[in-house]
A and B are shown apart, each in its own frame.
Chain A
Amino acid sequence: MSKPQSRTIKVDVLARVEGEGALFVKLKGNQVQDVKLKIYEPPRFFEAFLRGRHFSELPDLVARICGICPIAYQMSAVHAVERALDIGIDPAVRQLRRLFYCGEWIESHALHVYMLHAPDFLGYPDAIAMAREHPAIVQQGLRLKKAGNAIVALMGGREIHPVSAAVGGFYKVPPKSALKEMVDELNWALDASLATARWASGFDFPDFEQDYEFVSLSHPEQYPLNEGRIVSNRGLDIDASEYEESFTEQHVQHSNALHSVLRGHNSYMVGPMARFNLNFDRLPEVAQQAARNCGLHVPCRNPFRSIVVRAIELVFACHEALRVIREYEPPPAPRAQAPARASTGQAATEAPRGLLYHRYALDQDGLIASAKIVPPTSQNQKRIEDDLRQFVGQISTRPAEEITWKCEQAVRNYDPCISCATHFLRLQLERD
């Protein structure tokens, strides 16, 4: 009897993900021997060079971690410091932060759904090829993204690496009139998001479901953005201050990003599917109904349907932005302040890609003594490898080219942001 053939599938540079990484899959016959997500983008040492800086500099510094989700970094940072210094924020500032975050979700989700993930389902190598045959669709995606950018630019002072977020609030808050100018476009964006969900729900999805542990924030009244407890579908229910007791990061040789695992539970999923499954009843009715119309059920365990879930979150973000604008009354002061003191604060917020945890220890002068940042992609990284190990087993008899395509698509289910995680992609498939 002949020995089973071994094959290696390699993707040396994963396309349509944020950042630089590679994928390695080794097959013996049709059995998966090894799967590695290799993140070779160099470490960036943000946690180290934040030490010695004043807490007031944090929002501008951490915004530089990511060009796609700077607001997430700003929000987790300011909430952590506010918790350390017991700074209460004005209710109007809380609403503005939700609006700011909605802008980032809209631009990030529109980018991923239309430009990064949809080409996989429609059989195009990239968004440019898709745009040649579906220009109106791509145009719709770009206009949606622009609607999100407009919110970010207004609230943050500029679209990329915004500068207005501050500990205690904002350096400047907009007048009601400036917010109202966005209403017409956001009404269009809400309709376009509903159309996006209908469009994406018509794609062919591989028959692949996994028994995930979903982790996200959960707030008693609202779909989570800035606040809530960290919960899972397997009983986890903790405050952000308890995060490091429940989660740990592990170094793996093939990655410059640490793998985050739940102590005693192993890999877990953060991001839109986790939020959707754990917080469905806090979505506005328009988003819940859109999800039902798209055939989504709770829990959704097929990661390929995450593109539809992202579209539902687009509906939510546009609806929520309109709500905040409708109810907005400017705060008496743009930000609250408090004296520095030696203290430690932790916070987690929901970046477009999932839970983002920050911890800062401050000295008596308000200088940062230590910092810890756990981005969503490093939390999802082990889960992506687990998905691939199971998924490649289902498709291992297919030609290498098809396996490669499907594996990259499976990675993109998570909209990984390697630059943030380097803390990611090329596929290497090896048949022994």
Chain B
Amino acid sequence: MALLIIGCGNFDRGDDAAGLLVARRLHALGVDTLGVEIIEHTGETFSLMNCWTGFERVILIDATAPTGTPGQVQVWNAHADRLHEDTFPCSTHAFGVREAVELARAMNHLPPILLIYGIEGKRFFLGAPPSPEVECAVVSVADQLAMLVSHDLKDLGESTLPHTRHGIRFDPSDYGH
């Protein structure tokens, strides 16, 4: 079963780079050599929907809106939960990751398996570097995905899906910050 990992974001907007940084770390860890396609994406709705067409399993990583707990990671099983617009606010053109997932759901075009990892950001202004909290969450999410892929690639199916989880927080002090 083909697996696609999509890191979404914008390198020029601080913590908005979170998904892209996870994708790059997965490349660095050699996950792409395990038969997994890893791509970086702006998060634009329609091309995102085109990207995952034909894949049976998709994992998408993106930054989420600040709520005071930077670096907090949430995981959604798209078939079980709707994405909230306050969590995934989008660009000025108003079509982003949430719209791609919800539009695909409305048209019954979701990939059979779609997990969304959200990393809560703190700063999104132009030219900002990622915050330490997001940097350590990036490492944690990438390592967790690398382990998930290498251990469960053959078995990753509906029964092994993680349930939607909220409030997973990685402590920056565990990662030398």
The complex places the Cα of A17 from the Cα of B93 at a distance, in Å, of 7
Partner of A146, one of B46, B94, B95, B107: B46
Tell me how far the C-beta of B65 lies from the nearest C-beta in chain A, rounded to whole angstroms.
14
Q: Within B29-69, which residues are at the interface with A (CB < 8 Å)?
A: 42, 44, 46-47, 49-50
B173 within 8 Å of A (CB atoms): no
Report the Cα distance A149→B44, complex, angstroms: 13
Asked if A142 meets B95 with Cβ closer than 8 Å, knowing A127-B103, A128-B106, A131-B106, the reply is no
How far apart sit A128 and B106, CA to CA, in the bound complex (Å)?
A: 6
A17 to B102 CA separation, bound complex (whole angstroms): 19
- The yes or no answer to A93 lying at the interface (CB within 8 A) is no
Q: Which of B42, B49, B107 lies in contact with A160, CB distance below 8 A?
A: B42
Per the CB 8 Å criterion, the residue count for chain B at the interface is 17
B92 in contact with A135 (CB, 8 Å) = no
Q: Is the CB of A19 within 8 A of B92?
A: yes
Bound together, the chains give a CA A145 to CA B45 distance in angstroms of 12
Contact B93 A67 (CB under 8 A): yes
For B106, give its contact among A15, A135, A419 (CB under 8 Å). A135
The answer, among B91, B93, B103, for a CB contact under 8 Å with A128, is: B103
A132 touching B106, Cβ below 8 Å = yes
Q: Per-residue CB proximity of A174-204 to B under 8 Å, as 1/0?
A: 0000000000000000000000000000000
Which A residue sits closest to B102, measured CB to CB?
Answer: A128
Evaluate contact between B106 and A18: CB separation under 8 angstroms: no
Which of B44, B46, B93, B99 lies in contact with A18, CB distance below 8 A?
B93
Would B49 and A142 count as touching, CB distance under 8 A?
yes
- The listed residue (B44, B91, B92, B103) touching A138 by CB distance below 8 A is B103
Q: Contact: A145 with B46, CB < 8 Å?
A: yes
B108 within 8 A of A: yes
The CA of A145 and the CA of B103, in the complex, are separated in Å by: 15
Interface residue ranges of A11-60 to B (CB < 8 Å): 15-20, 41
Pick the 9 closest A-B CB pairs, nearest first. Answer: A131-B106, A135-B107, A132-B106, A128-B102, A19-B92, A419-B92, A18-B93, A131-B107, A128-B106
CB neighbours of B42 from chain A (8 A): 160
Interface residue A139 (Cβ < 8 Å from any Cβ of B) = yes
Question: In the complex, how many angstroms separate the beta carbon of B115 from the nearest chain A beta carbon?
Answer: 20
Against A, the Cβ 8 Å flags (1 = close, 0 = not) of B96-119 are: 000100110011100000000000
Find chain B residues with CB under 8 A from A313 CB. Answer: none
Give which listed residue, B92, B94, B102, B107, contacts A139 with CB less than 8 A. Answer: B107
A68 near B50: Cβ-Cβ < 8 Å: no
Residues B94 and A418 in contact, CB atoms below 8 Å apart: no
Residue of A nearest to B91 (CB): A67
Bound Cα distance A16, B92 (Å): 10
- Min CB distance B86 to A, Å, is 13
Cross-chain pairs A/B with CB under 8 angstroms, 6 sampled: A127-B99, A128-B102, A132-B106, A135-B106, A138-B107, A145-B46
Residues of A within 8 A of B103 (CB): 127-128, 131, 138
Find chain A residues with CB under 8 A from B95 CB.
115
Residues of B with C-beta under 8 A to A115: 95
A159 within 8 A of B: yes
**A159 vs B42: C-alpha distance when bound (angstroms):** 12
Indicate which residue in A41, A67, A128, A419 contacts B99 across the interface (CB closer than 8 Å). Answer: A128
Residues of A within 8 A of B93 (CB): 18-19, 67-68, 419
Candidates A131, A142, A418; contact of B92 at CB < 8 Å = A418
Given A128-B102, A159-B47, decide whether A20 and B92 contact each other with a Cβ distance below 8 A: yes
Contacts of A127 in B (CB 8 A): 99, 103
A139 to B91, CA, bound (A): 23
The CB with the most chain A CB atoms within 10 A, among B46, B50, B91, B95, is that of B46
When chains A and B are docked, how far (Å) is the Cα of A19 from the Cα of B49?
22
Task: Please give me the residue from chain B that is nearest to A159 by CB atom.
Answer: B47
In the complex, chain A residues whose CB is within 8 Å of the CB of B94? 15-18
- CB-based nearest B residue for A138: B107
Chain B neighbourhood of A135, CB < 8 A: 106-108
How far apart are A259's CB and chain B's nearest CB, in angstroms? Answer: 21
> Which B residues lie within 8 Å of A68 (CB)?
93
With most chain B CB atoms within 10 A of its CB, the pick from A128, A132, A418 is A128
Min CB distance, B44 to chain A, in Å?
7
